[in-house]
Structure 1
Amino acid sequence: MAKLTVEDLELKGKKVLMRVDFNVPLKEENGEVIVSNDNRIVAALPTIKYVLEQGGRAILFSHLARIKSEDDKKGLSMKPVAQKLADLLGQPVTFVPATEGPELEAAIDGLEDGQVLVFENTRFEDVVDGVEVKRESKNDPELGKYWASLGDVFVNDAFGTAHRSHASNAGIAANIEQTAAGFLMEKEIKFLGGAVEKPERPFVAIIGGAKVSDKITIIQNLLKKADKVIVGGGMAYTFDAANGKSIGNSLFEEDKVELAKQLIEEAGDKLVLPVDAVAADAFNNDADTYAAGEEGIKDGYMGLDIGPKSIELFKSVLADAKTVVWNGPMGVFEMPNFAKGTLAIGEELVKVTKENGATTIVGGGDSTAAVQQLGVADQLTHISTGGGASLEYLEGKTLPGIAAISEK
């Protein structure tokens, strides 16, 4: 899809509304609330800096967590985020503790070219006078219209919220002449969208995680598009049960066994399942373990990672890949003794990126954490910034935040 990008806009002297994803973790330190992880702010810097360099007046807004009561607002102001942004930009950032009204409007009108303003948490609009009304989350038409009136153009750089139809993305876009993608959003559309719609082949998808029910539509969509779909993690035991294998005490979804059977029959050799497992007698890093082979897992034990034969099988499938999408761990990645499968996949992705020139895309918290733990995130093609958004993109769904961006 050819979407308008920030580089297509005339920005000098313009009030540039920018939806960013500054939903970052906060912590208290020496009596002060500070940002504890600034990755999402850093990811938005290229677009912000570009707007400022072009003489635009950047008006940034983001949500921060969920707001369900007036009490929630006390610890979830955007003020510490604005302070962190000022440090990263090396210039002052105006913070306005309001989401609407004369104070906000006056501050925006007072901006000069190359200056930045951050206003209050957009989700503060979800609770008004102590009542949960969800003006932001339910895309209140008047709120979207009001926010749109504060600027001249709209740049959406928040892929992490692209799967939501909120006042701060779809609502503004519906009420302003030009909406463009920021560099971060543009990259997500290029790589995730490109992988699903026009992949260079062979195209291999790796889907992990605990439950088939969480990823079933992704698996179904990718089986239509990919050359191979590798399944690992807890969900693999539902497929094992469908194949009649013993799974011991492993996590599985009994109500999804018939669906798994159907997928196995329909997919044929397109679907690649683990052939062995690291099984443990408790959900604990220090549990007693053994290598469970193709015969399955014995009673009293549960599968917590893929085994060495599965790692080699998956590597062989990835060996000549030209496009790889990975979402979800191969085991209980949080425990070191059951992280080997996930880390091996991360290492293999680096290899196919370097040796095959493959496009390698990673999405999902655990998969991202794995490549960061390995220190190889910068050696892969793209690390997606959107959890739920990347999942829905891989499912083939239309994302409201992307649909609302103007076509070129």
Structure 2
Amino acid sequence: MGKLSATAVKAATRPGRIGDGDGLFLVVKPSGSKSWMVRVQKHGTRRDFGLGSASKVSLKIARERAREVRTWVELGLDPLFERRKAQGIPTFREATARVLAQHRKTWRNEKHEQQWLRTLEAYAFPHLGNVQVSEITGPMIRNVLAEIWLAKPETARRVRQRIGTVLDWAYASGYRESEAPMRAISKGLPRQPKKDGHYAAMPYAKVPCFIPRLRERESYSRLALEFAILTAARSGEVRHAVFEEFDLEARLWTIPRTRMKANREHVVPLCDRAVRIIERCCELRIRDCALVFPGQRLRKPMSDMTLTKLIKEMKEPYTAHGFRSAFRDWVSEETQHPSDVAEAALAHVVKDKTEAAYRRGNLLEKRRVLMDDWASYCCRGG
């Protein structure tokens, strides 16, 4: 027989814990709110489990829930997991939605969330989407990855990481009894072919001959690629550029931090040719379109594949991103411009905190001279 009564529960006002027996306590907080808690000990380990608010859970129900928790512990079961099970364990698709909602505020932009979701929709959901997270096993995950592990190695690694993130959330939330064996799964897959990890870069000595070839015809993709080369910007920064980011009178392009890899605003000084490209895009501007370099679909940015396709059509085995490496090599081997100015031009983050403290300025005027010199080098062929 318990020590408490319904009347005593209602009358309790003094902050603290009031025991009912067998580990069940009424917890009274300084604010006056009351809740139930059961303490269970087994093999020298003590754990406390909340049973709900006393305003919603009666003394009788609290005792029943306490007995249930004690029984689970005696049977070697995890009360948190069993309670989640009773409440309904989400499917992998439902768990993914909750993870995305929780991570949304931490991501730089919506594009990252879309990429996250697309990979799981394409490769994980067909196999795991309707399976409860508690039922997903290592072999099931391995089968998902095995289909793309060698054919699409980079995508497969991303899918593996994202499946692991969802199942880690499920374990931490009490929906799984154990963590997903991601390390063992990776060991059970064949070794992926190694890559050098670098983007194929055109040697800087070839760039002056490449620029005139770009100008043989006019298109948004050709203008965008030349602009990317002259500014040493990432292709995504160029493809998503909008007119309001440019101050042509000051010859500046201000990229907001939401579009930057390092999540910091980046100001790019523009050479004369870069300014002329933007002016030409103003002349070609599509009505009600903010994009400087729109894609084939109206008012939508061109895809990264557009620039890749252009370079392939020009019979060159390089990537758009590789021109940033060409710029960096040129600075190091052909000029006296300081390394920190080149790194600032590339919007690289300084990893050394002490060094970063002395480089808080954006070195804008020094970078303007550097980018003008780079433009002169690139355009000397035509």
TM-score range, shorter chain: under 0.3
**Structure with the bigger percentage of strand:** 1
TM-score (norm 1): 0.23
Higher RCO structure, 1 or 2 (CA under 8 Å, sep 6+): 1
TM-score (norm 2): 0.24
Larger radius of gyration: 2
